[in-house]
Structure 1
């Protein structure tokens, strides 16, 4: 058992608690016993003092006490622990018990006091003087005003020995009680912490290839169920993240391999024989297109990496979202005209956002809509204000997206059609960037689709600076690695 372990600390805590409890109870009982013994002895002495005062009242002179001492000595027969002495006012011993062991010096204090008749002086027993002594004046009945000092001492060695034995017993009980509590505490802690050991063993078996393992929640103690459930939820998030990371790595390898293979193939063909300057120029221009595509992909991935770690710059300010929408729509209308499409914008809305990132998110949605809208169709971009946000909905008719793909259209490099070949110049990161931009703003991006009819992407922007701060904190806390591109 290691000193830093919970079991060790609980065992020590149980032992200390038991020792303190026993010590408190023992001290109280010891004090109670000591008081009871002293009061019992004192009550006996006071009772005897009253008896001897009664005897003195029947005596006419001090000389009568000296001449007939047995009357007083007989009063303590049957009390072997009791000692008696009678003194006059000068301190002379008139009579005493045969085993009276005190010298007259012990009696000087009460004699010297100018005490009224009946006053009592008391001396409690100590280890050096185990006698409980009571001294009291008793008046004689002769009418001459004489009095005698009654000194009674009770041998308290039995009581003192009883208290000493009690102290030794109490110490032994505290010692063995503490040891027993430590052992019981150890066993209790080991038993109580056993579910934690099972959890630790299960957790130690979990690896990247065994993320399907889960902690047992049903049979866990009530106090550990929340921990087990949270740990299982974390494992599920890790499993999903590993799956996405694996898919992302595979897709990334493919996306990088395609342009690199194109570059290598074109270069190898160009070098296979002597060519004219025009032919070399054509090869270089083709290579440049692949380089530009790689540069865009790397730039997009760098932006996503910064956004994932909340490092992407965000210059938020209040902007007219309709004005930004019109700028982007005007630019993409040229591409739409070539495809026989029309972009229709409507609605108003002011939001707190980075206008450059807002334009980029809108541009990615319009570009995506143009690629997947049937010729002759219209793309609708509508703004609508809610209680605390402004929503931009971009809708386009077309083949749409099947329900099983809706959750993953924002994943990086995700292909709705399952094809590895990209039919356009996109990088496959457009919608992933849209999702990251909205999370940076504390907003949200979502999609709804009716296959064969209509697909609608919705961007939700915070309506105020406080909304942006609050939502961005929540968005960053709940963020997971995701992103993608629609290929419906």
Structure 2
């Protein structure tokens, strides 16, 4: 059974008040006990001093009757105060039950003591009075009945317990009401949150009027909703882009196949159709492979089989592999700087080749592309710079998003599915690095960083990923339809 916060707070208030009231009640009871004890002692000592003064002045048996009369006058009818005078000479004795008193008090203690007599608890004190004239030395005992004092303590304790329990119940009730009032903004906030519709992602909770703590919570929650809205919008755009990219080659395949089947074709014509369909199917395969790669990277995959090697050497091998494409585009590539880094070769070459293909496709003939490699603290920085038209700042922040193109009308934009730079970002993330893009003074720079500290392996990726730049062999060139675009 779930217990509400208000009930929990009320119980905690009750427990805390019970502890406080108990401590206060215990202290008050101790104070009352001490004060009543002092009051009894004061009364006993006062009666003892007065009786001692009368007996000390007595010096004969003839005058002892006067002492008896005064002691009788000092003794209340209810017996709440009593006197005893014990003496070897019976003429100078006073009080009843002297023999029992002598048995109880074989030796008189010094100072106050408790005397139990006739089922009564008496607070008593004794004093020896020296002889005077005919009167020998006597022992004077004065006692006060403690019954009324004990009754006062019991009544006080009962009243204190009743007040304590009543106070605890009152504090619990008030605490519950206060907690309900204090948590009212939470209930209102909960109702407002329940009213949020999944059909309208722009809805937000109102941060005011709310307590500061809840205001901070609402701000954080609204921030989470902002991120969800952006992610949802990005996902919708991503799904639309995927559908668009897949629809184009599928439409081409279907259209070409329908045309080919509309009438009799020669073997050469059918071969041409199959060749064209193969190109479109290869484009579909590339998109699917890239999407699988990015999906695994998003799931937390990290670079495996990392080696400590020269970044410039790996970039040079990639540049050599793309030599034919450079010649076709009429551009040159120069590598500047070097740094030792820890990376997985296949992934590093894949990121470098995507950046180089992006620069080649967006450079005019005769342009020089510069690959700069440097170290900054614990990171190795790889930057590919090519001359080109300025890219607006808003586009720079999104160039590494999937299927994003700054300008769909730019050269070769229809031949690329917009995942090249996204793959660069994924490779950088798998190596604990980041990506960057700048555009200034007619030169555009795209790059990524690698962390010198290896990251913990979370999952695996295919060793031979699509579009990686293997060492120079007779294999066919990388497909120009797969790099990312700026």
* Structure-1-length-normalised TM-score: 0.84
1:91: how far off? 11
Given that residues 438 and 461 in structure 1 are in contact (C-alpha distance below 8 angstroms), is that contact kept between their aligned partners in structure 2?
Answer: yes
Given that residues 86 and 98 in structure 2 are in contact (C-alpha distance below 8 angstroms), is that contact kept between their aligned partners in structure 1?
Answer: no
1:377 aligns with 2:367: yes
- Report the CA distance shift for 1:330/1:127 in structure 2 as closer, same or farther (over 3 A): farther
Any idea what the Cα deviations from partners look like across 1:310-351, whole Å, max 9, x if unmatched? 124433332200001101111112101011111122212222
Alignment gaps of 5+ in structure 2: 459-481
- Report the CA distance shift for 1:13/1:92 in structure 2 as closer, same or farther (over 3 A): farther
- Report the CA distance shift for 1:68/1:408 in structure 2 as closer, same or farther (over 3 A): closer
Partner of 1:139 in structure 2? 130
- Report the CA distance shift for 1:124/1:311 in structure 2 as closer, same or farther (over 3 A): farther
Partner of 2:445 in structure 1? 456
Alignment gaps of 5+ in structure 1: 473-483
Any idea what the Cα deviations from partners look like across 1:365-404, whole Å, max 9, x if unmatched? 0111111112222211122332332222211123342333
1:330 aligns with 2:320: yes
Q: How big is the alpha-carbon RMSD for the aligned residues of Structure 1 and Structure 2? A: 3.3
Deviates more, 1:322-331 or 1:128-137: 128-137
- Report the CA distance shift for 1:455/1:162 in structure 2 as closer, same or farther (over 3 A): same
Between the aligned partners of 1:283 and 1:38, the Cα distance in structure 2 is 117
Deviates more, 1:361-370 or 1:187-196: 187-196
Partner of 1:12 in structure 2? 11
Partner of 1:44 in structure 2? 43
Q: 2:405 aligns with which of 407, 412, 415?
A: 415
Alignment of 1:54-203 (within 5 A): 54-60=53-59, 65=64, 69-76=68-75, 81-88=80-87, 94-96=93-95, 105=100, 108-110=103-105, 112-113=106-107, 115=108, 119-120=110-111, 122-123=113-114, 129-142=120-133, 146-203=136-193
Given that residues 411 and 485 in structure 1 are in contact (C-alpha distance below 8 angstroms), is that contact kept between their aligned partners in structure 2?
Answer: no
Q: 1:235 aligns with which of 225, 231, 235?
A: 225
Given that residues 303 and 431 in structure 2 are in contact (C-alpha distance below 8 angstroms), is that contact kept between their aligned partners in structure 1?
Answer: no
1:278: how far off? 3.2
1:245: how far off? 0.6
1:306 aligns with 2:284: no
Between the aligned partners of 1:230 and 1:359, the Cα distance in structure 2 is 41
Partner of 2:257 in structure 1? 267
- Report the CA distance shift for 1:89/1:205 in structure 2 as closer, same or farther (over 3 A): farther
Deviates more, 1:297-306 or 1:217-226: 217-226
Between the aligned partners of 1:321 and 1:343, the Cα distance in structure 2 is 15
* Structure-2-length-normalised TM-score: 0.85
Q: The residue matched to 1:69 in structure 2 has which SS?
A: helix
Q: The residue matched to 1:154 in structure 2 has which SS?
A: strand
Alignment of 1:287-436 (within 5 A): 287-418=277-408, 423-436=413-426
Deviates more, 1:265-274 or 1:119-128: 119-128
Deviates more, 1:56-65 or 1:442-451: 56-65
Any idea what the Cα deviations from partners look like across 1:225-283, whole Å, max 9, x if unmatched? 33222222211111111111110011111111122222222232333334333333333
Q: The residue matched to 2:72 in structure 1 has which SS?
A: helix
- Report the CA distance shift for 1:314/1:381 in structure 2 as closer, same or farther (over 3 A): same
Q: The residue matched to 1:95 in structure 2 has which SS?
A: coil
Between the aligned partners of 2:355 and 2:22, the Cα distance in structure 1 is 77
- Report the CA distance shift for 1:244/1:422 in structure 2 as closer, same or farther (over 3 A): farther
Between the aligned partners of 2:88 and 2:252, the Cα distance in structure 1 is 133
Given that residues 263 and 290 in structure 1 are in contact (C-alpha distance below 8 angstroms), is that contact kept between their aligned partners in structure 2?
Answer: yes
Q: The residue matched to 2:93 in structure 1 has which SS?
A: strand
Between the aligned partners of 1:377 and 1:120, the Cα distance in structure 2 is 117
Between the aligned partners of 1:8 and 1:422, the Cα distance in structure 2 is 68
Q: The residue matched to 2:199 in structure 1 has which SS?
A: coil
